[in-house]
Amino acid sequence: MQLFLHTHALQLKHTFRIAHGARDVQDTLIVGLKSGDHIGLGEATATAYYGLSVGQMVVTLERLRSVIENTPFEHPEQFWEAMQPYLSGHPFEQCALDVAAHDLFGQMKGLPLYQQWGLSIENNPMTNYTIGLGTIEEMVAKVKEMPWPLYKIKLGKEGNDLDILRELRKHTDAVFRIDPNTGWTAAQTLEYLPELIRLGVEFIEQPLPPNDWEGQRLLYEKCPLPLIADESCQREEDVDRCHGYFHGINIKLVKCGGITPARRMIQKARMHHMKVMVGCMTESTVGVSAIAHLLPMLDYVDMDGPLLLREDIAQGVRMVHGKVYYADAPGTGARLQFDITD
């Protein structure tokens, strides 16, 4: 097996703002695993919030090149376990490898991932489209630019969150999902609740800082809207911790280490009767195509990353007015618009 690495600066259509930062460019690492005539693709983005750069990811994987290329490849889960001793503290890098391994294995078998897993795609959830923080006028303009049935609205910074939602509601009858990105307090959230319900909010994602378990427990007991953990649920072991504090979890493949642990997290959440969402990190179509194969296992999904880019670097899964369409190809179905082996 051969390892290929490619870094790319994905240019965003608009400045993407959330409660704890803003960016115009999303740096990403594309990983290729080649065996015979097949090459599997994986992806991991990097942001300053997590203290990781694509350069650091490249260094980590280059140091392991010999191990990666000489590890027997029988199945993606086996490969993930073989890499775990080397990458236990590097989930982003392990995610890119794991997604590439799943794509490679699917190509070898000639089947898309969801078919390998015996899943039906007939009742897949639709993806939301994210409206990043900005002035009210900027956020309204984004809604008008991209009419969509589900919006995930970033809040939690300027203190005018209800004004934002009231104004957006004047321009669309879409479902609202809101994400303060840890920017609220428990008291704030409880104060906002009647208006959030009136404005048609479906759920609240991570309103409080991840260390405010006391406040989160209070919300869990009093909030009629589902509370979805994001920053509080990054790794497999976090699922049990979130039970009794959140009604559901938002899994990010790069944070947990890839498809292999994500599927275990989904199973564990279901054992706790929790809702399950998978979210993206503004990946290209490479990463988002992998997320698509988990759709039959999910209640909600946020996989709009490619829609936020000025120009994508791959083809694969497509999203049209919330509905997800798979590529007619095995594995994840993602294919780059350039040759990663050059």
Flag whether pLDDT at 15 surpasses 90. Answer: no
**Confidence (pLDDT) at 158:** 76
**Confidence (pLDDT) at 189:** 97
Contact 94, 262 (CB under 8 A): no
Q: Where are the domains of the chain?
A: 2-111, 116-336
**pLDDT by residue (tens digit) across 283-312?**
999 999 999 999 999 999 999 999 999 999
What percent of the chain lies above the pLDDT cut of 90? 94
Among residues 17, 32, 44, the alpha carbon closest in space to that of 281 is found at 44
**pLDDT by residue (tens digit) across 163-193?**
999 999 999 999 999 999 999 999 999 999 9
Q: Please give the structure tokens belonging to residue 46.
A: 């990097």
**Confidence (pLDDT) at 329:** 98
**pLDDT by residue (tens digit) across 139-171?**
999 999 999 999 999 999 778 999 999 999 999
The band of 204, judged by pLDDT with boundaries at 50, 70 and 90, is very high
How far is residue 58 from each of residues 54, 80, 86, 95, 157, measured CA to CA in Å?
Answer: 6, 18, 14, 13, 33
Flag whether pLDDT at 197 surpasses 90. Answer: yes
Residue 92 CA to residue 51 CA, distance in Å, equals: 11
Q: Measure the N-to-C terminal CA separation of the chain; round to a whole number of Å.
A: 16
Query: pTM value?
Result: 0.96
**pLDDT by residue (tens digit) across 221-264?**
999 999 999 999 999 999 999 999 999 999 999 999 999 999 99
Question: What value does the mean pLDDT take over residues 269-275?
Answer: 98
Reduce the secondary structure of the chain to three states and give it as a string: CEEEEEEEEEEEEEEEEECCEEEEEEEEEEEEEEECCEEEEEEEEECHHHCCCHHHHHHHHHHCHHHHHHCCCCCHHHHHHHHHHHHCCCHHHHHHHHHHHHHHHHHHHCCEHHHHCCCCCCCCCCECEEECCCCHHHHHHHHHHCCCCEEEEECCCCCCHHHHHHHHHCCCCCEEEEECCCCCCHHHHHHHHHHHHHCCEEEEECCCCCCCHHHHHHHHHHCCCCEEECCCCCCCCHHHHHECCECEEEEEHHHHCCHHHHHHHHHHHHHCCCEEEEECCCCCHHHHHHHHCCHHHCCEEECCHHHHECCCCEECCEEECCEEECCCCCECCCEECCCCCC
Fold of 116-336: TIM Barrel (3.20.20)
Residues 6+ apart with CB under 8 A from 19: 133, 154, 155, 156, 157, 180, 181, 182, 183
- What are φ and ψ of residue 143, in 5° steps? -65, -40
Fold of 2-111: Enolase-like; domain 1 (3.30.390)
The per-residue pLDDT of the chain, averaged, comes to 96
Flag whether pLDDT at 19 surpasses 80. Answer: no
The band of 17, judged by pLDDT with boundaries at 50, 70 and 90, is confident
Contact 201, 173 (CB under 8 A): no
Flag whether pLDDT at 22 surpasses 90. Answer: no
